[in-house]
Amino acid sequence: MQKAKLTTINDVAARAGVSYQTVSRVINQHPSVSKQALERVQEAIQALKYQPSNAARHLAKQQSAMIGVISYGTLHYGPAQTLASLEREAHELSYTLSNVNVTDLSFAQISAAIQTLRRQRVDGLIIFAPLIDIEHTDLESICADLPVVFTATEPQPKRAVTAIDQFTGARLGAQHLLQLGHQHIALLNGPLDWYDALLRQQGWLSALQRAGITPAADLESDWTAAGGYQQISALLESGTPFTGLLVANDQMALGALRALHQHNYKLPEDVSIVGFDDIPESAFLEPPLTTIHQDFAALAHQSLLQLKACMEHPNLKQHLRVLIPELIIRSSTTTPKQPFRGKK
Amino acid sequence: MQKAKLTTINDVAARAGVSYQTVSRVINQHPSVSKQALERVQEAIQALKYQPSNAARHLAKQQSAMIGVISYGTLHYGPAQTLASLEREAHELSYTLSNVNVTDLSFAQISAAIQTLRRQRVDGLIIFAPLIDIEHTDLESICADLPVVFTATEPQPKRAVTAIDQFTGARLGAQHLLQLGHQHIALLNGPLDWYDALLRQQGWLSALQRAGITPAADLESDWTAAGGYQQISALLESGTPFTGLLVANDQMALGALRALHQHNYKLPEDVSIVGFDDIPESAFLEPPLTTIHQDFAALAHQSLLQLKACMEHPNLKQHLRVLIPELIIRSSTTTPKQPFRGKK
DNA sequence: CGGTAATATGTGATCGTTCACATATTGTCA
DNA sequence: TGACAATATGTGAACGATCACATATTACCG
């Protein structure tokens, strides 16, 4: 093994001819260090390629400069973007991010993830996973007095939450279709154990109800293009009439487009589609996709800011921070050709 | 602040009525612990919600159970997938991953990233970024005796490298087009400061040269659909004749498809397109995209295995591990209608 | 020149673990 | 029953940094 024993603060002190405490002062930029000592210590650090050990520092300081993240579904666009932004933002605040990705939303996995992060003595925690089934009391017992920010999850009483308003997003999409004159509007949603999906369903329903319109169809799929393709193919073959379609992410919308093309539908004349997320490819689909833009970088930024507030003022009451998504109109939506149409 | 002082091994020992060392033995599953002591310690751990401090453990053990990753461009599909897989794999080997994402490939950033990870005393390092301009001697000086695995980078003498064979991948794509009878084949590549892009260019060129065919065009873009759209639009407007197009990732291919549709090209009759990566959406594009499949999960798996080997046998000479990508034929490629065609 | 403050440096204890070693207890067999 | 091994437990030092405090040096002002 490489038992080469890494250089320590003492090695540097010895070489510079000062005490270890002086070296510590140089590292931490304490003002009371003479110019001579400073130079000699810096020279020694360079020469010995000294790097202070975070572990030792954390132990002594009783804080880790680490932020824990519990993430879910990071292979999907939204979570992946958020996580990447989170990492960048954290680095700018000179925090290190420690990410644990859970593969399901069971209490067992969530609690194991929290334990892992508590061992690392993270200074704060961002839970970036839908937690529909978790009891608040259970969470309280594991998180203890760790500062936590939730996102993508249902409102937690007394807990800090930063989220993009999915309800409003879906409503914007549905309203756009309604304003164009669509009367038969279907929803292709993601899995309902994602809280985001639940909220989008509610927003869509709310818009339709307010307009006095009955939903044409309410489908659930798995966020993938394949799933979207499958569901819309089935819907078309079932003969259910619809002219407007709200899809809960752009990948499924892509699959839906394919299904519609295969069934010789003309787009957007025959069916208008609104996606969700505004992935970079959306503007280049056939036809370019009208969609609900979500600012994941802003979500990351805000949740980190909120976590910082939690860490600095642990007793401050935290409120809900909400980001509003934006409707991006492209050419996949238009006025319906006929007020009503069935199977082609 | 929450100066509540977390519970330590001593608190557990006191409650269980044993010495701290016995508690340590329980934590580390040492065999020589009596059944009674074991039970009492476990009870105390439960009751006090004790979690051992990783920082203290690492300090004492002189190893961190952390693996550092230096990543680049994680907002793109390939890197994002690899990173996510890496995290999952590392967790399975009960390592923690510490990721630093660099925003450019300057020596300054790479070396800062390595310093950050050295401070964390990572046990090993996976450099998952193209390092075309970095001198080997510079790297040697920073990495010192840290076990390192490179990937997505040019072969390093004496260093461990795991990579997907991009040269072969591009050649497979080009050969497919050649076998269909295409004579005018263009390449739409990613930025050439990615080593992957460079290798794909070489593989494509090599296949064409072997067939005695001159390249129709050699374009460089930025991996995005927007970039691909722009470049292919320009190519079409320039009137350069081509019937086959190899694109270095599927997002750019998506943009290229859009450009071709807009110019009223019939696909695949007028132009055959081969993508790269096989993103989940590829099968649902218009038309479904023939592409080169890359197994990013396997890449992550292999590089971690190799790193483990490096860590366990530091003096073992490491070789180059290569994964071979696979051609997935869908309907975006067919025989050329005419042996030659210019601007439409 | 004495006194007080500001600056510069050093010493011992501490953070929460593990390791090496010492010691106490139990078991097994001649 | 005595001897020796195996099992079980405890003690002090170490890991590499920071903190609180003590001390030495320099600076300034009346």
How does pLDDT run across B61-101, given as a tens digit for each residue?
A: 999 999 999 999 998 999 999 999 999 999 999 999 999 99
**CA(B8)–C1'(D4) in Å?**
38
Section A29-57 average pLDDT: 94
**pLDDT over 60 at A80, yes or no:** yes
Q: How confident is the model at residue A4, as a pLDDT?
A: 53
**Mutation for B interface: A148, A254, A284, most B CBs within 10 A:** A284
Q: How confident is the model at residue B4, as a pLDDT?
A: 52
Average pLDDT, chain B: 91
Q: Is the CB of A75 under 7 A from strand D?
A: no
Residue A226 and residue B283: Cβ atoms within 8 Å? yes
Look at A101-110, B10-19, B105-114, B128-137 and tell me which has the smallest mean pLDDT.
B128-137
Q: How confident is the model at residue A338, as a pLDDT?
A: 61
Residues B145 and B204 in one domain: no
* A277 Rama sector, left if φ>0, alpha if ψ -120 to 50, beta otherwise: left
Residues A21 and A39 in one domain: yes
- What are A217's strand-pairing partners? A186
State the DSSP code for B282.
Answer: G
**pLDDT over 90 at B319, yes or no:** no
Query: Which CATH number fits the domain that encloses residue B286?
Result: 3.40.50.2300
**pLDDT over 50 at B3, yes or no:** no
**Residue B84: domain span:** 66-165+296-324
Is any Cβ of chain B less than 8 angstroms from the Cβ of A108?
no
Section A240-247 average pLDDT: 97
**pLDDT over 90 at A38, yes or no:** yes
Residues B203 and B270 in one domain: yes
| Longest CA span, chain A | 88
Q: Where are the alpha helices (DSSP H) in chain B?
A: 9-16, 20-27, 35-48, 54-61, 77-92, 107-119, 136-143, 166-179, 195-210, 225-238, 250-262, 296-312
CA distance A174 to A172: 6
How confident is the model over A115-172, as pLDDT tens digits? 999 999 999 999 988 876 666 667 766 777 789 999 877 767 678 889 999 999 999 9
Percent of chain A with pLDDT strictly greater than 90: 79
Residues B224 and B256 in one domain: yes
Look at A259-263, A340-344, B282-286 and tell me which has the smallest mean pLDDT.
A340-344
Going by pLDDT thresholds of 50, 70 and 90, the confidence category of residue B159 is confident
Section A99-106 average pLDDT: 91
- Inside any domain, residue B329: no
Q: How confident is the model at residue A343, as a pLDDT?
A: 42
Residues B272 and B216 in one domain: yes
How confident is the model over A260-297, as pLDDT tens digits? 999 999 999 999 999 999 999 999 999 999 999 999 99
**pLDDT over 90 at B326, yes or no:** yes
How confident is the model over B220-263, as pLDDT tens digits? 999 999 999 999 999 999 999 999 999 999 999 999 999 999 99
Residue B51 and residue A2: Cβ atoms within 8 Å? no
Q: How far is CA B183 from the centre of its chain?
A: 33
How confident is the model over B137-158, as pLDDT tens digits? 677 667 777 899 998 777 676 7
C-alpha distance from B31 to closest chain A C-alpha (Å)? 23
Is any Cβ of chain A less than 8 angstroms from the Cβ of B101?
yes
Buried b (16+ CB within 10 A) or exposed e, B293-304: bbbbeebbbbbb
**CA(B287)–C1'(C10) in Å?**
75
The helix (run of H) or strand (run of E) holding residue A81 is helix A77-92
Q: Is the CB of A8 under 7 A from strand D?
A: yes
Q: How confident is the model at residue B10, as a pLDDT?
A: 94
* Complete DSSP assignment for A243-305: SEEEESSHHHHHHHHHHHHHTT--TTTT-EEEEEE--TTGGGSSSPPEEEE--HHHHHHHHHH
- Inside any domain, residue A335: no
- Inside any domain, residue B330: no
Residues A27 and A138 in one domain: no
Is any Cβ of chain A less than 8 angstroms from the Cβ of B319?
no
Closest CA to B86 of B303, B280, B309, B310: B303
How confident is the model over A86-98, as pLDDT tens digits? 999 999 999 999 9
Residues B238 and B133 in one domain: no
CA distance B201 to B220: 10
Percent of chain B with pLDDT strictly greater than 90: 79
Closest CA to A116 of B178, B97, B221: B97
Is any Cβ of chain A less than 8 angstroms from the Cβ of B64?
yes
- Inside any domain, residue A333: no
Q: How many CB atoms lie within 10 A of CB A290?
A: 25
Q: How confident is the model at residue B317, as a pLDDT?
A: 75
**pLDDT over 60 at B343, yes or no:** no
Contact (CB, 8 A) for B283 and B114: no
Residues B190 and B288 in one domain: yes
**CA(B288)–C1'(D25) in Å?**
80
Residues B176 and B290 in one domain: yes
Q: Which chain A residues contact residue B254 at CB under 8 A?
A: 281, 284-285
Query: Which CATH number fits the domain that encloses residue A18?
Result: 1.10.260.40
Contact (CB, 8 A) for A193 and A222: no
- Inside any domain, residue A244: yes
Average pLDDT, chain A: 91
Q: What's the Cα-to-Cα distance from B264 to each of B187, B231, B267, B270, B283, rounded to whole Å?
A: 21, 16, 9, 10, 22
Residues A202 and A237 in one domain: yes
Q: Which chain B residues contact residue A91 at CB under 8 A?
A: 100-101
- Inside any domain, residue A3: no
Residue B254 and residue A314: Cβ atoms within 8 Å? no
> What's the structural domain count of chain B?
3
Q: How confident is the model at residue B166, as a pLDDT?
A: 96
- Inside any domain, residue B125: yes
Q: How confident is the model at residue A198, as a pLDDT?
A: 94
Residue A121 and residue B96: Cβ atoms within 8 Å? no
Q: Which chain A residues contact residue B118 at CB under 8 A?
A: 51
Burial class (CB in 10 A: 0-12, 13-18, 19+), A188: buried
Going by pLDDT thresholds of 50, 70 and 90, the confidence category of residue B135 is low
Sheet arrangement for strand B96-102:
B96-102, B66-72, B124-128, B148-151, B160-164, B320-323
Which one has a higher pLDDT value, A253 or A157?
A: A253
**pLDDT over 70 at B170, yes or no:** yes
Token output for A132: 């529909």
- Inside any domain, residue A205: yes
Going by pLDDT thresholds of 50, 70 and 90, the confidence category of residue A108 is confident
Chain B, 13-42: which CBs lie within 7 Å of strand D? Answer: 18-22, 25, 31-34, 36-37
At A32, is the secondary structure helix, strand, or coil? coil
**pLDDT over 90 at A330, yes or no:** yes
Is any Cβ of chain A less than 8 angstroms from the Cβ of B329?
no
Residues B14 and B30 in one domain: yes
**pLDDT over 90 at B284, yes or no:** yes
Residue A229 and residue B284: Cβ atoms within 8 Å? yes
Q: Which chain A residues contact residue B88 at CB under 8 A?
A: 101, 103
How confident is the model over B13-66, as pLDDT tens digits? 999 999 999 999 999 999 999 999 999 999 999 999 999 999 999 999 999 999
Residues B96 and B16 in one domain: no
**pLDDT over 60 at B341, yes or no:** no
Going by pLDDT thresholds of 50, 70 and 90, the confidence category of residue B342 is very low
